Structure 1
Amino acid sequence: MWSMAQRNTFLLLLVFIGLSRWTSASHIVGGNVRLTAGGTPDRYTLSLDLFIDEQNSQAGDIKPSLKLAIYRRRDNLKMGEFELPLLSEQALAVSNQACAQLRPLKLREVVYSKDIELSGDRFDDPDGYYVVHGVCCRSGAIDNIVQADESGMVFYLDFPPIKTVPNSSPVFSVPTGEYACKGQPFTFSFKATDADGDQLKYSIVTPYKGFTNQGVAFDNQPSSTYPTVGWKAGFSAASSVPGTPGLQVNAETGVLNVTASQIGLFAFAVLCEEYRDGKRIGSVRRDFQLAVVDCPNNTPPAPTITLEKAPENAQIGKAADGTISSVSACQGQSVTLKTEASPTWSFQWQRDGINLPGDTLATLVARESGNYTVVKQFRNTCGKPSPAQTSVKVDLSEAETLKLTATGPTTFCDGKSVILKAPEGPYSYAWFKDDRVFPGASEPDYQPHETGEYKVQITSAITGCVVTDSVMVRVKPKPQASIVPPALTTACSGDTIRLNAITRPTYTYQWANTGTVIDQESGASLAVTQAGHYVLTVTDTNQCQATSEEVLLQFKTAPTVTMAPLPALCENATARLALSAEPGGGTFAGVGRAAGAVSGLEFDPAKTGPGQFVITYTLSMPGNTCPGRAQQTVVVHQAPTIAVANATVRRGSEVQLNKNSIDSLQYYWTPSIGLSSPVAAEPFASPDTTTTYRVRATTPQGCEYTTRLTVTVVTALFIPDAFTPNNDGMNDHWVIRGISDYPDCQVEVYNRWGNPVFVSQGYSQPWDGKSAGQDLPPAVYHYVIKPGDSQPHRSGSLLITR
């Protein structure tokens, strides 16, 4: 059997051997991620807390920066990677350096941190996101993990969608560098704080292994289920440190305890989950290692806690043996506790089982409520801590219950107020605004009128305790209710005065006349036609209201005039429209296009064209500045316009007139001789002689338009292609039937060489086949007949035989 010294030497030897082998990240004992919301939207601080074993570290092991990645949980989409610079380092406290030499760890906290931007519009997936940092590898000296030197670490945190669930992750307390003695109860805390007040639940889980190994030092790849470490036989998440009991965590407080039954170095992980309104919204994991050593059996005597100093009004409780068990005092006061001092002992004060950093003297000033204990150990030699830990409950809660109340909302509009009320009783009062005292304000009630933080401080005449409470009062400014002074406040009846308010996009408006709200008017401008006292009430988005000064508007009565109604007329009316009104003596005027169409007492529709036009009548009477006015509307109908074309028709035939007629018009043709119908829109004409027709088109409103066209009647020519001028009395002349209807015609005949042999202006005497008195020889000749009157020329061949 080995002696104690031999075992310790062997343990240290294992550590030094490990230093020569585990070169990846075996110096990293554990750590956790933090994500903290900043003071402005979308701003966060991302941090990584690593716990380093200085005994197992080499130069360069602490990197100047590390990278963390963020992924979307639903599909492991990478949202970003962030490089965090080294922020700070500090050694973790131990209470006994002599005993610390027995353990294989000397811990230091190394913090990496960076302010980053996470946009709510981008991080809005309801399944949330996670942060990850993977590193290899663990120390080969770990006793509860299979192939620890090939097992990496994954520091992991998941958080909800920022857009809908703004959140800061839980923040673990900084651990100590303490060890656990085999066979002795050991308690330490991983209690976390949550800035959002979410409920936290703790559990021990199997550490993540991740995807790193001796060949891959860092790996931030995503995973829906990260690989976990392999436990050695007899170990598990529920039994990561063997003992009676084994390592356990209080699910509500995060305090861990164990009475270890085996020495060694043990890895474990604590999962802290946060719940809001009963729903899980996120979590963070802390990886860590606990060293269990075989401490010497020498144990210092149990410490005794006494009261060195307390306020005069403190209430002190004692146990049956006379020792101090509790102290109650006022909030803001302090209590000084002490234990017996000796250079032989070292001390570690605790509150609620958690070491208080730096409080290692024989005295402690307690400024917060809690259960205070002190752990007593040998200073210069290793031994077990004091077996019995006496505790003193310190209660520095409020001695007086104070809740400042208000008689109404503490946010109100200027001109209104609220009364702040403090509890009444045997108290004296002092009121403050933004930490400035109000001289003379010594009553339990106070009425504020300005924005600020109002605080009341009450002092109990019985206990002397001073208690404060405050309320934030916000006074919203009134909107600006002002009517721009109109150019005129007196007008004539029938006129309009426009009132305009100072406008803001956040204002709504309500107008009133002589105390009666004008319901239909809610704009910033009001057209006024009635006399009265007008005021404007303006409401802003804070529902604050202001009312303007009143504006008095007056309307004088004008003489009563009437204007005779105006009949409708056509724009091409030949007579002007007479205008009349009663009483007479006033002036008529046209509005718009009708301005130039009114002359004296007449209206000329030809100067306006079709449309509706307003004609006004104005009459000024002596002694009255307001003229009488009346108006009528005259309708001017559009006159029809038609375009007809002259036509030519052969006698005995017919031609259709006005082929482009307008369906809405009625037509009347004169004379009706030779027409298929005198009222047809497109009649057929077949006159015997050339005739000029007059057509009148009428609109449904009775407007007319008249025009003319001429139908020219022409006779068809029958031109023989041969005749026999042989004086036998038959067919001796070239008779052209119908040529008599063309007295201005010209007839020409040419021989085969193109020489004229017959030319006649008019054709009253048929040609006898002679030229210059001589008979032309039988032959084929060419003729050209020009009827005249724009009629087409006729030409062809003519045969003369004898």
Structure 2
Amino acid sequence: MPQLYMKALCRLLFFSVVSLLPLVGFATHIVGGEIELLYLGPNSAYSHRLNLNLYFDQNNGNPGAEDALMTLGIFRKRDNAQLASIDLPRLGSSQVAYSIPSCATAIQSTRLIRYGVDVTFRPESFNDPGGYYVSWERCCRNGTINNLLAPGDAGSVFYLEFPAVLQNNQTFANSSPVFNTVKGDYICLNRPFTFDFGARDADGDSLVYTMVTPFNGYSTAAVPYPARPTQPGLEGVFRAAPYPPVRWASGYSETNAIPGISPLKVDAKTGLLSVTADRVGLFVFSVEVVEYRKGVAIGRVRRDFQLRVIDCPRNDAPVLLMKAPGSKEYYKAGTVIQLTDTDKACLNLFLTDPNANQRITVTNGSGALSGLAITPGVVSSGNGRDTTSTQFCFDACALYNNGNPVTLRIQATDDGCPQGITTNLDVLVQVTSTPGVKPVASTDLRGSQTTISVGSSLTFNAFGKDPQNGAVSIQAVGRGFALGSAGMTFAPTSGTGTVQQPFRWNPTCSQASQSAYVVDFIAIKRACNVERRDTTTVRLTAQGPASQPPTIRTSLPSRVVELTVVPNDTSSGAVRFTVFGNDPDKTDSLRLTGAGRGFSLTQAGMVFTNRNGRPELQSPFSWQATCAVLQGRREATFTLDFANTDGSCQAKNTDTTSVVLKLKTPEVNYSDLKVPNTFTPNNDGKNDYFGLMNVPVENCYEKFERVDVYNRWGVQVFTSTDKAFRWYGPDFPVGLYYYTVTFGRQTVKGTLMLVK
């Protein structure tokens, strides 16, 4: 059995019990309504939200009789099998507003009651290609409805179709069309009336509207909530489609639900209802909207509703007259007003309305106009005999149509009930283009070029002029650079006739090192979508004040220093000197810096501090080189680069010097090493121990490491890592022994005789 999970109360077909008592008194005051099914998206805990909107007759209904729940049936279209019944709890209600709030009347008052719940349609259960439908039915309608037979016994059916939620093994995301909230308006006899029945579709599907005959369903006054006849008394099991339609009274039909000079009809594209009724009464009707995706109908929903026609008090349309610029006569239909594309036209409007104390709103009904101004936009009819005036001003370019006339529609709408009456005044306007005249760009910089010194400021004005006194703007553009990056400022400006704006430059040394900057000032004039330009150019150069180059030196007699590094000898490998920086001008700021070429001074253990100041700087350098910096090499070279830079704008504002430190470790002379071959430990002061004589001076990678003595059987009898070792051979027998002396890259082996 297909399953459907819900946020609130959910009951599956054949396993549910509904406890709903008939509230016929409430049902007879249902004005209309519709169902909505909204897709919640893949990240929601539920797949859809199911809503029911119920329009309730506020004047005649009993609010205490409202249902706390509405129960809807879900059916499969292919075989009309009921899959589930769903309880929708009441979410709240709101008063349906009138188009003009002051028109609210006791004749008609409607309240919107909303029911809803979040549900999940499982894809494996709702994948039938034929789709599904949701329905709700209830009896009975208002007994005073004029266009139905026995309306007090007629039922209502709210109906919505939706596609399978799984198609081609993929989730089919779709929300039903959602009708716009209705207004509470009534219709006036023999007066044109429009009513918005349009809908919104969250998926961007195409919508088509038609008038249809409302469903009556199977409900009756005796059985307001019909169940299947084959299962009497089993609540929650509803009658499936097809649903019987209502019975029209004589002379009425779905295309003549409200008769008149222009019977009730709906615009197939917009859903706008229109009618000019010729009789009073209460009339029911239904509009169906079908949603199409890629040319295929995928769903539909009906809105059931009723409208009342009354004999309203007289309301006359406002009278709208106009005088063209410079004309003393009122405009006559068909007359063409001639304008040029540089004009800013103002039409003088005159309004009267025989109905006293009405507010008349004047609007542009012909689309967007640039520079539009209606002042004032709302006027009062006063005592009904006065004439009020306003002005409709606009840029003539907005009506330019390649020299062809266009129709400018001006609308005046009063605030008569239930909807204001609108008077349209169509004015023919022909806009012709004037001969193309370019604007003029200029500056007050003499000769259009200059050179300034760093530290000073340059200011001059740029101008844009339209010889025809029209709109013009001026802007500045650097050739190959942004003005801000070069320290230049200029704010584009616009105006009428002539505009001007200051240009400022405060160059720094970085600009002085560049060649001339070229700046274009562009005047722009736009008229009727045609742009004309004029450009003037300036060349700007910056230079720094005269300055002598700085100097740098060290206290060393030579730029090459040779250092010898001996292990564990702090007197070797040391170097100290001072670096001096000088400014011959004694005015520029200095920066004295040092760096290793390809290495870090700090990581090498060198000590040097960069300095800033004037007019002379000095900083000491020191280094105690160790074997570690040789990294196993016999020699290494370290080059130090020192620089002294002044703060001038000259290209040669830096002097440099280098110091080369050549580091080496001495050769080891193994020929001096003496190893005895006999010793006599008898305490006579002669050859009493085995030791080394004339041990050579060690270097960074060759030094004494150890001595080992073995007996004739290869057993180690003595070892030491001290190059000043002494072995007396205690308790060892006389005889021949073997020794090994490891000294850096050399190993010395020999025999040793112990004699006692």
Structure with the bigger RCO (C-alpha within 8 Å, sep 6+) is: 2
TM-score of the superposed pair, with normalisation by structure 2: 0.41
Structure with greater Cα Rg? 1
TM-score of the superposed pair, with normalisation by structure 1: 0.39
More strand by share: 2
